[in-house]
Amino acid sequence: MAERIVVIGGDAGGMAAISQIRKRKSDAEIVVFEKGHWTSYSACGIPYVVAGQVAGIERLVARTPEQFRELGVDVRMRHEVTAIDLAGGHVEVRDTEGNTTLEMGFDQLLVATGGRPMRPPIPGIELGFVHGVQTLDDAADLLAHAEAGRCRRVVVVGGGYIGLEMAEAFVERGVATTLVDSNEQPMKTLDTDMGALIADALRHHGVELRLCTKVRGFSDGAVVTDAERLEADLVVLGIGVGPNSQLAREAGLRLGARDAIAVDRRQHTSAAGVWSAGDCAETFHLVTRQPTYVALGTVANKGGRVAGINIGGGDAVFPGVVGTAISKICATEVARTGLTEAEAREAGLAHVARTIESTTNAGYMPNAKPMSVKMVAERGSGRLLGAQIVGGSGAAKRIDTVAVALHAGLDVQQVVDLDLAYAPPFSGVWDPVLIAARELVKLI
């Protein structure tokens, strides 16, 4: 009898594993249960659909259920796994369209249930005009609401990546947009001084900001804060994402960082024959050397690939991440990697930091844009800990240089010595990353 491999979840973490499994086990029975309407899609592209820059949700789909079925994969859409029986080796599944239930055994199981938007217990948060944005189903509901209701006023709650990108998207649609955040500055994954640059960019683009402001509740047509009542036709939750790990918890799988499913470097969980990858699973931080939780498509795809190789009988390891992320907020690019000052402090690392101002290319070039680079290093040893970049077009991808340096374990002086390319259309003779490192050496 053929081995049966069950995958819970049809997006990045789960579907990245499929081709790897099939390459190694051509005769295995692979069954995927997905509770939504789409498989293998880019949720990161949702704000650009909302803004009208991408022509429709379907453009975000990398591979359809039919394409997976052509590989001999039994993909069952609108099927929600409601329980995992580890001892019995089976899952319980509800067909949400047929309103029936079934039980299916497995030899190996991949839990790829993804993440879920944080929905704090605020009165009225379940009202129909309040939307999370995590899946394409969420995006479809949000767009339907925006278009059917002739949306004129939007309030975005939360200043993380998705919140800021959604605020920009609605401004691009010509909608009056207000962003509410309880923090001093938006984007708390940056240090406060760098977040202030993002706040300036949002204001310049026409987004109204309400910082250091808490949401107390939602009522029909309004968001009630501790300072005022904001009228709204639609509310977008950009508070953040947490692991969708409740199913794993109830099954008895061990949870780790931020209650994500605990996995080893091979994506194996605490139970034999059970694996996990994607936004529901933890990963390993190469700078702190501790388990961490990072909800990014890059991490989900890499973790899924490693899980698939191992489920298929291979031997692969996911070494970990350094927390690299990038975005564009209006005309301003923003990126980070490694640790911020605040994160270094939280990790108990003695550190120094320096921020420099430079330009995206040689200052005398007509298209030179301002950019700020903040770099953090360990005091004494000079070990590079991280960097943040905010600036004009061409600024943010420089973060990849720092990410590579972190993976290689370079110290700041070694970063100064890197032989980076130079030509006036791309940078000054000293790239801004090198300038930041050079200035930081002086403090160590």
Secondary structure in 3-state letters for 264-322 = CCCCECCCCCEEECCCCECEEECCCCEEECCCCHHHHHHHHHHHHHHHCCCCCCCCCEC
Instruction: Look at residue 1 in the predicted model and tell me its pLDDT.
Output: 78
Give me the residues of the chain with pLDDT under 50, please: none
Active site (annotated) includes residue 280: no
The model carries a pTM of 0.93
Token pair in block for residue 125: 């948060």
217's CB contacts (< 8 A; 6+ apart) are: 122, 123, 124, 223, 224
Token pair in block for residue 138: 């969420």
| Distance separating alpha carbons of residues 183 and 87, to the nearest angstrom | 45
Token pair in block for residue 16: 């990245």
Catalytic residue among 44, 151, 212, 280: 44
pLDDT digits (tens, 9 = 90+) for 215-270: 999 998 999 999 999 999 999 999 889 999 999 999 999 999 999 999 999 999 99
